[in-house]
A = this chain, B = another copy of it.
Amino acid sequence: MFDLLKKNIAKHTALSDDEMEHFCRLFHPQTVKRKQLLLREGDVCKFEGFVTSGLFRVYHLDSNGSEQTLYFATESWWVTDIDSFTTQRPSQLFIESLQDGQLLMISAQDKEYAYEHIPKIEKLFRVMTQKTHAAMQRRMIDMLSKTADKRYQDFTERYPELACRLTNLQLAAYLGISHEFLSKIRKKIARST
């Protein structure tokens, strides 16, 4: 469980064994059930989580009652509302567990402690946030230029193992389309193969 975390950290920045141990001791395991909300709109986000099993979605609920999914997080992904977590102001987002699962959680205080006492942790999260942001820029370009059809095909090709764990409703909220229309896209693609 911590092995997965250590492997993930090592992918972004080299830490000494001491630094790694020191940092990892700040995380606490938490098991969650399907449909459990880790965060709801209006709450201050108190945690950053590293997913060791399960599947989560981070989404916004607008005034019409429809949902926009910012991202999914599965094994070895990080999950938090970065805005609320860093500012400690009320969140605009929900975080829901879609399956029974497990996370390693760190609190805002402990992360602040890590920033101050383990210098490389600044670098770690600087690098991770840069990568996440670059990925978001690519997704924005896709949103600006591609039809739902193409975005769906790209998603299923890039994340096949994730796509098959999602319902139409969940995937539609990520693609920014209605689930009915997603159903029609699937039908069209199935016909043409």
Contact = CB atoms under 8 A, between A and B. Distances in A.
Q: Looking at A60, A62, A122, A173, which has the most chain B CB atoms within 10 Å of its CB?
A: A122
A84 to B, nearest CB: 9
A136 B130 contact: no
A133 B81 CA distance: 11
A14 to B, nearest CB: 13
A140 B143 contact: yes
Interface in A111-140: 115, 119, 122-123, 125-127, 129-130, 132-134, 136-140
A140 B82 contact: no
Given A64-B145, A68-B140, A129-B133, 19 more contacts: A60-B141, A62-B141, A66-B145, A69-B144, A82-B133, A82-B134, A83-B137, A92-B138, A115-B123, A119-B122, A122-B122, A122-B123, A122-B126, A129-B129, A132-B133, A136-B136, A136-B140, A140-B140, A144-B173
Interface in A60-118: 60, 62, 64, 66, 68-70, 82-83, 86, 92, 115
Interface of A: 60, 62, 64, 66, 68-70, 82-83, 86, 92, 115, 119, 122-123, 125-127, 129-130, 132-134, 136-141, 143-145, 173, 176
Contacts of A69: 144
28 contacts: A60-B141, A62-B141, A62-B145, A64-B145, A66-B145, A68-B141, A70-B137, A82-B133, A82-B137, A83-B134, A83-B138, A86-B130, A92-B141, A115-B123, A119-B119, A119-B122, A122-B122, A122-B123, A126-B129, A129-B133, A136-B136, A136-B137, A140-B143, A143-B144, A143-B176, A144-B173, A144-B176, A145-B176
